[in-house]
Amino acid sequence: MGKFTKETQVVHGISTSHTTSKDLVPPVHLSSTFKFKSVEHGASVFKGEEDGFIYSRIANPTVDLLIEKMSVIENGEAALATSSGMSAISSVILSLAKPDDNFISCNSIYGGTFAFFNEHLKKFKIIPHFVPASSFLEMSRIEDLIDNNTRFIFFETPANPTIDVIDIEMAASVAKKHNIYLVVDNTFATSYLQNPLDIGADLVVHSATKYLGGHGDSIGGIIVGQKKIIKLIKEHHIVHFGPMISPFNAWLILRGIKTLALRMEKHCENAMEIAKWLEKNPKIEKVYYPGLLSHKGHDIAKKQMKKFGGIISFEIKGGIDAGKMFMNRLKMCIMAVSLGDCETLIQHPASMTHSTYSKKERQKAGINDGLIRLSVGIENSNDIIHDLEQALL
Domains annotated for the chain, with CATH where assigned, are 6-257 (3.40.640.10), 261-392 (3.90.1150.10)
Kindly state the helix (H) or strand (E) to which residue 260 belongs, with its residue range: helix 260-280
Q: CA 200 to CA 177: how far, in whole Å?
A: 12
**Predicted TM-score of the model (pTM):** 0.95
Could you give the CA distance from residue 136 to residue 122 in angstroms, rounded to a whole number?
A: 25
How far is it, in rounded angstroms, from Cα 309 to Cα 345? 14
d(CA 158, CA 109): 9
Torsion of CA 43, 95, 204, 172, to 10 degrees: -130
Q: Tens digits of per-residue pLDDT, 178-234?
A: 999 999 999 999 999 999 999 999 999 999 999 999 999 999 999 999 999 999 999
Distance CA 58, CA 38 (A): 20
Look at residue 17 in the predicted model and tell me its pLDDT: 58
**Eight-class DSSP state of 284:** E
Cβ within 8 Å of residue 127, ≥6 positions away: 100, 101, 102, 103, 121
**Could you give the residue numbers annotated as active site?**
57, 110, 185, 210
The DSSP secondary structure of 145-173, one letter per residue, reads: T--TTEEEEEEESSPTTT-----HHHHHH
Contact 277, 382 (CB under 8 A): no
Q: What is the pLDDT of residue 303?
A: 98
How many Cβ atoms sit within 10 Å of the Cβ of residue 100?
10
pLDDT at 22: 74
- Listed in sequence order, the residues at least 6 apart from 237 whose beta carbon sits closer than 8 Å to its beta carbon are 91, 94, 95, 243
Q: What pLDDT is attached to residue 20?
A: 63
Q: What is the pLDDT of residue 274?
A: 98
Cis ω on the peptide bond leading into residue 161 (within 30° of 0)?
yes
Cα(391)–Cα(393) distance, rounded to whole angstroms? 6
Model confidence over 115-141: pLDDT tens digits? 999 999 999 999 999 999 999 999 999
**Is 309:211 a contact under the CB 8 Å cutoff?**
no
CA distance 5 to 185: 22
All residue ranges of the chain with pLDDT < 70 are 1-2, 13, 15-21
What's the Rg (C-alpha) of the chain? 21
- Spatial neighbors of 73 by CB under 8 A, at least 6 apart, are 6, 9, 10, 13, 191, 192, 257, 260
| Residue 207 to residue 221: CA distance in whole angstroms | 5
Distance CA 148, CA 292 (A): 40
